[in-house]
Chains A and B, each alone.
Chain A
Amino acid sequence: MADHPRTQLNPAFTNPLRFSLMATLAGVSEITFKDAKEYLQTTDPTLSKHSSALEELGLVNVRKGFVGKRPQTRLSLTKEGEAAWRDHLAALRAITEIP
């Protein structure tokens, strides 16, 4: 008997903000921390906490740099993050198809 598709859901994406952050990063090449914060309508500490958690899991790349003298943090998906997100969406699709 095949496993229920819920077993394929990634527990890292159950938090609503992490889910939205992954969806955002899946749609862009990369995004600045500031743009992501505004787009997701969240706060610096909250976004920082969740992006760091996803970075520790190897799913998100957090790149710190400078634009002129201004520090800028850029977020993007890693290859592992892309695959994990794809698998998570596939599991959700499979759940929608259960009669």
Chain B
Amino acid sequence: MNTPSAHDARTLLDRAETTSRQAAGFSFAWLCYLALCAGGAITSVGLAYANVTDAAVLPAWLAGGLWVFVGVVSIAAATTTSPPSRRGFDSRWTIMMAVWIILWTMTSVFNDHFTLGLGVAMAAVIGLVWEVVALKKGVK
């Protein structure tokens, strides 16, 4: 094997960095996560509002459930059509889905806290930002 010069080695490192960074794109699965979180936030706020005003809870479940349904049924199509995702996507997705499941469960059980809606909205932002940061950061 020919020994690369320092300049050649730097060129190879730059090429490796660029190739790795540009290989991945934003996964559309995060748009489904956004829909899931929208459903969670709508349900949470709707249930809390119903508790405060003695209104019916069904509209809150229907409105939130519709967004959750959209999120769930779109995941397969989103992952199929997405560009390759940044390394570590599986871990980020699993963690954020676990957060969503916990918040959704809390919303269903303790349905009188407006703050849960804020929590679900925050989860959506954190998930999206985490993915964007992973994409920008690239691979060392």
Contacts and interface: CB of A to CB of B under 8 A. Distances in A.
Given A26-B139, A35-B83, A93 B20 contact: no
Which of B6, B9, B80 is packed against the most chain A CB atoms within 10 Å? Answer: B9
Contacts of A11: 1
Contacts of A31: 23, 84
Contact of A19 (B10, B12, B24, B87): B12
B87 A28 contact: yes
Given A24-B20, A29-B90, A95 B4 contact: yes
Interface residues of B, number: 29
Interface in A43-66: none
Contacts of A28: 23-24, 84-87
Contacts, number: 79
B44 to A, nearest CB: 31
Interface string A80-98: 0000000001001101111
A33 to B, nearest CB: 12
A6 interface: yes
A27 B24 contact: yes
Interface string B7-45: 001101101110111111000000000000000000000
B69 interface: no
A54 to B, nearest CB: 15
A5 to B, nearest CB: 9
B9 to A, nearest CB: 4
Output the residue of A27, A93, A96, A97 with the most chain B CB within 10 A. Answer: A27
Contacts of B86: 27-29
B23 A27 contact: yes
A27 B12 contact: no
A28 B85 CA distance: 6
A95 B89 CA distance: 32
Interface of B: 1, 3-6, 9-10, 12-13, 15-17, 19-24, 80, 83-90, 138-139
20 contacts: A6-B4, A9-B1, A9-B4, A22-B16, A24-B20, A25-B23, A26-B87, A27-B20, A27-B23, A27-B24, A28-B87, A29-B89, A31-B23, A35-B84, A89-B13, A92-B9, A95-B3, A96-B6, A97-B6, A98-B6
